[in-house]
Amino acid sequence: MLKLLVGLLVVGNIMLYASNGGYLGAGSTEGREPARSLNGPDAQRIRLIDPATLAGGRQTAAAAAATTGATAGAPPVEAPVAAASSQCIEVGNFDLAEARRFEQALTPLALGDRLSQRAIPDGGRYIVYIPPLADKESADRKGAELRGLGVTDYFVFSDNSDLRFGISLGMFKSAEAANQHLANLARKGVRTAKVAARPSANARTAYQLRGLDGAAEAALAKIKDGFPKQESRACQAG
């Protein structure tokens, strides 16, 4: 009888040890923390992360941080400066008084050699003439020679102009007409006559402006508002 009791006691101790060591299946592990974590209601939310995936995530984060740092350390990009235009703008058909006033208005723009003037042909006159002689007596003798050649339409310049003591043989509106008259005089024997353009008292001036940037073009438009009769246009080639 005593042997039986000792045997039962040994068997009971063995079963208790097996139960505490988890050798009897899931049922014996319900009271332990690892078992509750794996078998509890949130067990489906737990996912094991693959080591390669974890390493890739770390590399991606490091690359993003490096890119952010490089962007933050890069110097700011400056806005491009407006380049000067290569266009040439011509303004006006100015008389002498308006030309002076317009030129004065352009002074603040400091255009320098980017500003030039152009004389506008106004259908001026062309003179056929004999260049100035030494004095009035010489001019009178030349006049007598002309009369001897059958040329009576002339007069001697006696004022203080650049043609003083020269002889005018006619004024014409076109170079063609003046040259035709010169040819007619040559056939009569007049050898020293010439043709020259004579500026009109109503001579006009245009201004040409080159290499203007946006600010200068805006300033020019504002200046031109003070000259409402004047037009702007592109410069003619050549």
Predicted pLDDT at 87: 86
Predicted pLDDT at 204: 84
Region 44-48: mean pLDDT is 53
User: Which three-class secondary structure state does DSSP give residue 42?
Assistant: coil
State how far the alpha carbon of 1 is from the alpha carbons of 5, 6, 7, 12, 126, in Å: 7, 9, 10, 17, 161
Q: What is the pLDDT of residues 218-236, one digit of tens each?
A: 999 999 999 998 999 999 8
CA 7/CA 1 separation, integer angstroms: 10
Predicted pLDDT at 181: 97
Q: At what angle are helices 96-106 and 214-224 packed, to 10 degrees?
A: 140
What is the phi/psi pair of residue 111, to 5°?
Answer: -75, -25
12-20's contacts with Cβ under 8 Å and 24+ in sequence apart are none
Q: What is the pLDDT of residues 163-191, one digit of tens each?
A: 899 999 999 988 999 999 999 999 999 99
Instruction: Return the minimum-mean-pLDDT range out of 27-41, 67-81, 86-100, 132-146.
Output: 27-41
User: Which three-class secondary structure state does DSSP give residue 232?
Assistant: strand
Region 83-102: mean pLDDT is 85
CA 20/CA 156 separation, integer angstroms: 146
135, pLDDT greater than 50: yes
What is the phi/psi pair of residue 25, to 5°?
Answer: 100, -175
Is-contact 157 132, C-beta < 8 A? Answer: yes
User: What's the whole-number average pLDDT of the chain?
Assistant: 78
Predicted pLDDT at 28: 45
What is the phi/psi pair of residue 199, to 5°?
Answer: -60, 140
Predicted pLDDT at 195: 95
Is-contact 193 129, C-beta < 8 A? Answer: yes
Predicted pLDDT at 27: 47
Rounded percentage of the chain residues whose pLDDT exceeds 90:
48
More confident residue, 141 or 198: 141
Is-contact 94 230, C-beta < 8 A? Answer: yes
